[in-house]
Amino acid sequence: MRSTSEKQSRGQSQSTTILTPDRGGYMTGRGERWPGNARNYYNVPLITKAHWSWEIVLYFFLGGLAGGSFLVSSLASLFGFKKSESIIRVGRYIAFGSVLISPVLLIKDLGRPERFYNMLRVFKLRSVMSIGTWALSSFGLFCGLATAHQAAKDGLLNWFPLMARLLKALPIKVIEGIGSLCGIVVATYTGVLLAATAVPVWAKARKILGPLFFTSGLSTALAAISLILSLGHRQRNKEALDHLERAETIAATTELGLIAALVPTLGALGKPLFTGRDGALLFGGTVSSGLIAPLLLRLGWRLAGKSASREVTIVSSLLVLVGGLILRYVWIDAGRKSADDPQAVHLYNEIEWREKHRS
């Protein structure tokens, strides 16, 4: 590469915007420094957003609820106190109900629903959606078996005695163990799925999205079980509700911590999540009314030396459930806005490149 001083001065005067090797370097090749903020092309979006809508929002919520409920029910069954039968029963039925609706929503969202089975012909560890497909399918199997076992125990299958006896003889601890592991994958993969895209706000939150979706799934599951138990015979379920409340407090506190960690993690990339309508929904719907309010309500009752009344449990459970649904919506919607912002895409790539080159 030869370049006389005459040629260089000519090159520079022709355009003030074109970079030369001595002014910032080419944006290619190996180990070069970042030449200042990226520019953009008429602010046209660089990456393309997915057309996921309410089906996916609702599925993300139900997937977390299903995985969480099954996990709680299995934990109660494997390690729980003596009168935990009600938690086990309600947890299994909630998980089963959610897992029945989930594939319907997922298939409905496809551009060609009749080809859904093409996902069941491939297994790829590098595709989070493929991991999720198989996790949901196997979870559905174990959840179905556990629920059938429950139904047989509850006498719902007495009209078919042979089947009822067969289902009661199932190795339920094994089913619960494997099913819980599948349930954990179902409740976590949705967050990792979003993180494994080029969308800046999702990708930057890669270490938080999976944990956050799991934690939210668990807290909505605990809330849903509490809700149903407090609708039922309250005195009989009092002990179960007290146990659930302890678990809920831990889950909600963890969730608050994870959301707080988002602020420094995302930095400027968090703008679509923290500002505007999505920001208002996140802080109003999820953080304030979905997490802090139920925590304070219960804390207030505790400080007063009583256990929460039926109304308090119902209200706080509903708040947690609505907050969980809002959380999924806000993430999907913030992703759309983030994908449409070319400057965010460049900033994300720059941050990632700098991080990689520092280490």
Partner 1 sequence: MGQMGFFTDTTLCIGCKACEVACKQWNELPADGYKLSGHSYDNTSHLSATTWRHVAFIEHPGDANNGNGKTTNWLMMSDVCKHCEHPGCMEACPTGALIRNEFGDVYLQPDICNGCNYCVPSCPFGVVGFNTDAGVASKCTLCYDRQKIGIEPACAKACPTDSITFGDLDELRARAKKRVSTLHERGEEAAYLYGVDEDTSVGDLNAFFLLMDRPSVYNLPEKPKLPQENIVPGFVAAFATAAFLTVATAFSLWNRRG
Question: Between 152 and 320, whose beta carbon lies closer to partner 1?
Answer: 320
Minimum Å gap between C-beta 312 and partner 1 is 19
Among positions 86, 102, 133, 150, the unique one binding partner 1 when judged by CB under 8 A: 133
Tell whether residue 17 is a contact of partner 1 (CB under 8 A): yes
Tell whether residue 29 is a contact of partner 1 (CB under 8 A): yes
Region binding partner 1 by CB under 8 A among candidate stretches 93-101, 285-293, 317-325, 349-357: 349-357
Chain residues 201-230 in contact with partner 1, contact rule CB under 8 A: 202-203, 206-211, 213-215, 218, 222
Give the whole-angstrom CA distance, residue 69 versus residue 96.
9
Query: Which two three-digit tokens encode residue 27?
Result: 């944006």
Among candidates 255, 222, 253, 257, which has minimal Cα distance to 240? Answer: 222
Supply the DSSP symbol for 121.
G
Residue 356 region by backbone torsions, left for phi larger than 0, else alpha for psi between -120 and 50, else beta: alpha
Minimum Å gap between C-beta 163 and partner 1 is 30
Among positions 5, 31, 159, 359, the unique one binding partner 1 when judged by CB under 8 A: 31
Give the whole-angstrom CA distance, residue 16 versus residue 36.
15
Among positions 1, 162, 303, 304, the unique one binding partner 1 when judged by CB under 8 A: 1
Cβ–Cβ < 8 Å for 211, 261? no
Residue in the structure block whose two tokens are 């208002």: 280
Chain residues 308-347 in contact with partner 1, contact rule CB under 8 A: 335, 339, 342, 345-346
Among positions 30, 33, 159, 311, the unique one binding partner 1 when judged by CB under 8 A: 30
Instruction: Please name the residues in contact with 285: beta carbons below 8 A apart, sequence gap of 6 or more.
Output: 322, 323, 326, 327, 330
Give the whole-angstrom CA distance, residue 26 versus residue 93.
60
Rg (CA), the chain: 25
Cβ–Cβ < 8 Å for 234, 311? no
Tell whether residue 301 is a contact of partner 1 (CB under 8 A): no
CA-based torsion, 260, 66, 244, 72: positive or negative: negative
Among candidates 156, 132, 157, 150, which has minimal Cα distance to 74? Answer: 150
Question: Between 72 and 152, whose beta carbon lies closer to partner 1?
Answer: 72
Minimum Å gap between C-beta 155 and partner 1 is 25
x/- string (CB under 8 A) for partner 1, residues 56-95?
---------------xx--xx-xxxxx-x--x--------
Tell whether residue 184 is a contact of partner 1 (CB under 8 A): yes
Residue 122 region by backbone torsions, left for phi larger than 0, else alpha for psi between -120 and 50, else beta: beta
Instruction: Please name the residues in contact with 152: beta carbons below 8 A apart, sequence gap of 6 or more.
Output: 163, 164, 165, 167, 168
Among positions 5, 33, 44, 311, the unique one binding partner 1 when judged by CB under 8 A: 44
Question: Between 68 and 290, whose beta carbon lies closer to partner 1?
Answer: 68
Chain residues 95-114 in contact with partner 1, contact rule CB under 8 A: 109-113
Region binding partner 1 by CB under 8 A among candidate stretches 119-127, 144-152, 161-169, 286-294: 119-127
Minimum Å gap between C-beta 106 and partner 1 is 8
